[in-house]
Structure formats: structure tokens, C-alpha cells
Amino acid sequence: MSRTHGASLLYYRGITSSFVRQPEKIIEMPLNSDVCKVLHSYNDPQQVHITEGDHEGRAVIVSWVTPDEADSSTIVYWREKCKYMFSAKGSVLRYKFYNYNCGYIHHCTVKNLEKAREAIGHRS
């Protein structure tokens, strides 16, 4: 439903679902895990985001920022209890806005994952 008010158009979105996310304790990755350690080396990845990469749940998009250099945009990953490693090559971009220079923004899509079995490794 919409209503015109002067020169603007107002929309009433309403409620689309009765679903309410319940707070719950996450036990998959404890804070004392080695992957949660704060690293203090040059050009460490920052602002790491993992996003659903497809509609079937078999891909993820990993994004991160490196502050000083473009570095590699490759993700190395492996299957649980498997000795073989795989890699996915991503891309890097950087933008400038007047006198502001952002860090190097990396995006890498890891595809053909098996549901609930793959483990993301490290960047190389």
C-alpha cells in the first residue's frame, strides 16, 4: 500500500513473516580457537566477512581488507580429514574518494563445497 504526501511517496511495508530469531549460544567456533587469535604481523587481513555464495548452499564468498598491500586473493581450503588441498582465486580492488584511500578489498568465491563438510583454511 502506498500513499502520496506532497512530492514524496510513502510505502507501508508491514510484517512479512512471524519468524523471530532466538538468541542462542554458538558453539561451532569458541573464542579460544586458534582462528580467533589476534595476529600482529604486517598487512594482516581485517574486516573478514563470509557470505552465502549461491542458493544451494554449496558456495561462500569470503571478503577481507588488507591495509598496506594488495597481497594474494587466493583462499586455500580442504575437506575434513582429507590430505588434499584446494584453492580458489579471487580479486582485489581499491578505491579513492578525494583524499581518502581505502585498503585493498579482496573477494573470493569458494564453490562446489559439500554441505556441512568443508573447512575454510587460510589465504596463501
> How many domains is the chain partitioned into structurally?
1
96 occurs within a structural domain: yes
- Output the CA–CA distances (angstroms, integers) from residue 12 to 6, 67, 92, in the order listed: 16, 42, 39
pLDDT for 22: 76
Rounded Cα–Cα distance for residues 79 and 102 (Å): 34
Q: Does residue 10 carry a pLDDT above 70?
A: no
Q: Domain with 43 in it: what CATH number?
A: 2.60.40.380
| Domain boundaries, position 82 | 39-124
Give pLDDT tens digits for 79-99.
878 888 999 999 999 988 888
Give pLDDT tens digits for 14-56.
666 777 777 776 666 666 777 667 666 788 888 889 999 888 8
**What are the residues whose beta carbons fall under 8 Å from the beta carbon of 58, sequence distance 6 or more?**
111, 112, 113, 114, 115
Rounded Cα–Cα distance for residues 57 and 76 (Å): 19
pLDDT average, residue stretch 60-83: 88
**What are the residues whose beta carbons fall under 8 Å from the beta carbon of 39, sequence distance 6 or more?**
none
